[in-house]
Structure 1
Amino acid sequence: MRVMIVDPDRWLAQLLRQLAESLREDVKVEVFASGEAAERAWRRQPPQLLICGWQLADMDGLSLIARLRQSGAPVPVLLLGERGDRASVLAARRLAVDAFVVKPFRVPRLVEVLRQLLGSAAHEPPAAAGPQDPAAAGGFLGYLAGLGDAALDLPLLRDLRAGLDDLDREPPPGVPELVQRWGHDPALVARLIAVSNNSWYNPNGVVCTTLAEAIIRLGWLNCINIAASMTLRRASELQDPLLAARAAAELERCERVGEHAERLARQCGADPSPCHTAALLHRLGELCVLFHAQAWKNREGECDESLLDRALAQYARPFAERLKSHWGLPMALRELIAAIYGFGDMSIGKREKYVMRLAGGLVHGGMSEEEEARLRRLAGLPPAARRVAEAAVVAPLAGSASPEPQDAGPAATTAAQAEDGLAPGSGQAVEQAVEQATAADSPEREGE
């Protein structure tokens, strides 16, 4: 069944696509931003359902519907209007519109309207059987290879769906409550931030990099609609125990990087909020592969652990890059995510980038002591806490065979200041203490 969506709001169109695809498995959706492009596609082959916005890129929706009606094709029409006044309703009625929904709408109401329209639409005759699907022929890896950018998606945390009904209320939930409930879900956080940076919601080009900023910009009802639409996707939750366990491990890594990043950012006076967001989103590629592994299992049922490992090694990184680009995550946030792995130009940049590389190294490894020390200096952070503590003990030992415990008191105080980010002169005093004990310093790697 073919569904045509005509609306310049890219994210609204994607929401509508998700709703239609969740209601019928045989739906094939075409999306157009302009009336002219939609009309050309209509002339080639009318769809079985038209969903049209009131304001299009090149004309108003009523004019497009009037022109399409001239073809004589009995296609049901859903019109999404900006106003629900009597004049707008009468204008829609004159064109024999089958359903008229006023924005902002609630997803459950729109789902009911779509269910009726999809059920009443004329069915296409089944296509003749063709050759085997190349993706199916290539197994799970072939399926992943055939995914387009628009198909890439992420799994949701299991408790998201249950909490949505409680949030759709009057008075609406406040921003702190929504951040508390949603702030640990990479899929929803990434989607809301991406939508809030879309030109439709961000005409002035002010970059949004945190969940709280996104909620304020979009409004609570838009946010709840986006969340609700995501819960309707097939494979939105990972039901397979292996996939669920892998996702939990990835989320745990995100939390650990986030904890280190926030602490280090506060110590050096950087903004911890975008650092937390970048940490939460730095495993999007792995989560994307897991989402599609669940979709494949729902479809074919064959994906063992060794095959999953191959898929993660081959597709996690390219899927992450494609997903961030297609969704339109802001470049500032993408640079912070890249810094976690040491990608990009780390020689110059804001302190947040150095903080993210440090946090990533502490969790994922791959960072030498020399790189760690350099990044700490660039970020204005004191030396690693354990190395400072070692310097405090080793310095007296260099001049005395049996030092008294209190001899390390001043140096130990400096070490405590360093751990709390309170060392005078942005850590210079601590660096001097370390330099005095360099000859006796242990090479052991710090573990934050």
Structure 2
Amino acid sequence: MTAVNPPAAPNVLIAEGDPWVRDMLAQMVLSVRCDAQVKVCANGNEALEGLSAKPDLIIAARELPGLDGLELLRKVRSRARTPALPFLLISSRSDVASVREALPLAPTAYLTKPLNLDSLRHRLEEQLLKAGESISCETPALRAGITLARFIEEHRAIADGGPLFADVQQAIKRALNPQGLDLRVLEEEVRSDPQITAVLIAAANSAALHREGAVQTLMQALNKLGTTQSMNLILGLALKRSARLSDPLLARHAEHYWNLSLRTAEYGRALAQMLELDLERCYCAGLLHCLGDLALLRCLQEWLLAGGELDENQVDLSLSQSGAAYGSALRTRWRLPLELRELIAAIYQLGGGVYSREDLVMNLAGQMSRLTPEQGLDEVAASKTARLLKVGRAELERLRRE
């Protein structure tokens, strides 16, 4: 049932060092209480300052930069309050000694990483909902006078990326077996999804996990993140609003960019295999090169949900004017490896100076993917890129047939 007179929106304080886990925790809270006021903190000192806002629930990692989560809990418990402030302590330490150290401070729950999302959801429902209660939320309306161009500009710095194309639940189900989650099967299930690939690569390169060398492929990311963390991040993506495009016009445009991404990825991998280069890195670069256009389409979905209007011309104009900027902003904000970003840039054009054979491969893959069925291969075969790679018309025809 939906509450007729819903209680006041709860204030939830989240303290977590890893930005991707932090975002996932916020999405979990909002999936339980869409009206929650969520404040996120990257370290314990920020969280300590956040106590002045009198949160109704705290979710904190034990392993926080600065003031750690256990000390934060100690300071919270030193402040008299009845009933005690709910505090979910999350830790990568599950040994008996670590758990016993926290028990005297009476955390509401001690949850271990990698998180069990079902258990976390259950704990959140206990703290944020009454029995049988659910909360519905209206999408905030557009503010008076805002234009579509202004809306797009304001959302560029906070864009969540593109929509999902993979069936997340089905992918996880197929990858699960009695021994656990099979990462190889999971990679096969989601490898064609640009959003999942980008987020997992970004998460694997975050400061909390980055150790040796940049992660530049989906399989590398899955191996670094591990089974549960990978599964949690993928499932967390499906919780976000506009994770799938409901508007037919936007969905049609998204299908076009997705197919273009897949063609570029496949051509990149085939050319890399032919020339004995890194297949998977070239595939990922091709798959991610339209992520900005897809992210913009998701932003346009938000415009519609907030009460805006769109027609075909407005969508086309928005994509031509802002798609590239959205892609650049996302790749920088998510800190995708520079080498991968350079490969993506090469799809559009080769820069001046020296470029690698992989740059040439991706540029040629981009040219091939944009050919219509009616167009011949003469211009591509005669291009500087094909000549430098020594790839002739015969090889290009074979690639096109495959």
TM-score range, shorter chain: 0.7 to 0.9
Q: TM-score, normalised by structure 1?
A: 0.77
User: What is the aligned length?
Assistant: 378
Cα separation, 2, equivalents of 1:148 and 1:255 = 24
Assess if the C-alpha contact under 8 Å between 1:50 and 1:78 holds in 2: yes
Q: Within 5 Å, which residues of 2 pair with 1:231-380?
A: 231-300=238-307, 302-342=309-349, 345-364=351-370, 369=379, 373-379=383-389
Contact 2:175 2:183 in 1 (8 A): no
1: distance between equivalents of 2:338 and 2:289? 14
Contact 2:380 2:386 in 1 (8 A): no
SS at match of 1:51: strand
Q: Tell me: CA distance 1:54–1:34, structure 2 relative to 1, closer, same or farther (3 Å).
A: same
Q: Which amino acid aligns with 1:141?
A: A
Q: How does 1:3-18 map to 2 (within 5 A)?
A: 3-18=12-27
Over 3 Å counting, the alpha-carbon distance change for 1:358 and 1:10 in structure 2 is: same
| Structure possessing the higher radius of gyration over alpha carbons | 1
Measured after TM superposition, the shift of residue 369 of structure 1 is: 4.5
TM-score (norm 2): 0.85
Which consecutive unaligned segments of at least 5 residues does structure 1 have?
121-131, 386-415, 422-445
For the residues of structure 2 that align with 1:23 and 1:154, how far apart are their CA atoms?
23
**Cα distance, 1:134 vs. partner?**
6.7
Match of 2:58 in 1: 50
Higher relative contact order (CA 8 A, sep 6+): 2
- 1:39-72 deviations in Å (ceiling 9; x for gaps): 12323x2222211111111232111111133344
Partner secondary structure for residue 266 of structure 1: helix
Which residue of the other structure, out of 66, 77, 86, is the alignment partner of 1:69? 77
Cα distance change on mapping 1:64 and 1:118 into 2, 3 Å: same
My pick for the range that moved more, 181-190 or 356-365, is 356-365
Kindly report which structure 2 residues correspond to 1:130-149, keeping only aligned pairs within 5 A, or say none: 135=143, 137-147=145-155, 149=157
Q: In 1, Cα distance between the equivalents of 2:322 and 2:143? A: 15
Q: Retained in 2: the 8 A contact 1:152–1:319?
A: no
Q: Structure 2 CA distance, aligned partners of 1:372 and 1:116?
A: 66
**Offset, 1:169:** 4.4
| Residue identity in the other structure for 2:300 | A
Q: Secondary structure at the match of 1:41?
A: helix
Tell me the distance in 1 between the aligned counterparts of 2:108 and 2:341.
43
Identity %: 31
State the partner residue of 2:393.
Answer: 384
Shift of 1:225: 0.8
Question: What SS does the aligned partner of 2:206 have?
Answer: coil
1:158 deviation in Å? 5.1
1:107 is matched with: 117
Partner of 2:38: 29
SS at 1:137's partner residue?
A: coil
Indicate how the Cα distance of structure 1 residues 311 and 21 shifts in structure 2: closer, same or farther if over 3 A, else same: farther
Shift of 1:29: 2.4
Please tell me whether the aligned partners of residues 346 and 354 of structure 1 are also in contact (alpha carbons under 8 angstroms): no
Instruction: State the Cα RMSD in Å.
Output: 2.9
Give the gaps of 5 or more residues in structure 2.
Answer: 1-9, 131-139, 372-376
Alpha-carbon deviation of 1:154? Answer: 1.8
What letter matches 2:384 in structure 1? R
Once residues 349 and 273 of structure 1 are traced to their aligned partners in structure 2, the CA distance between those partners, rounded to angstroms, is 19
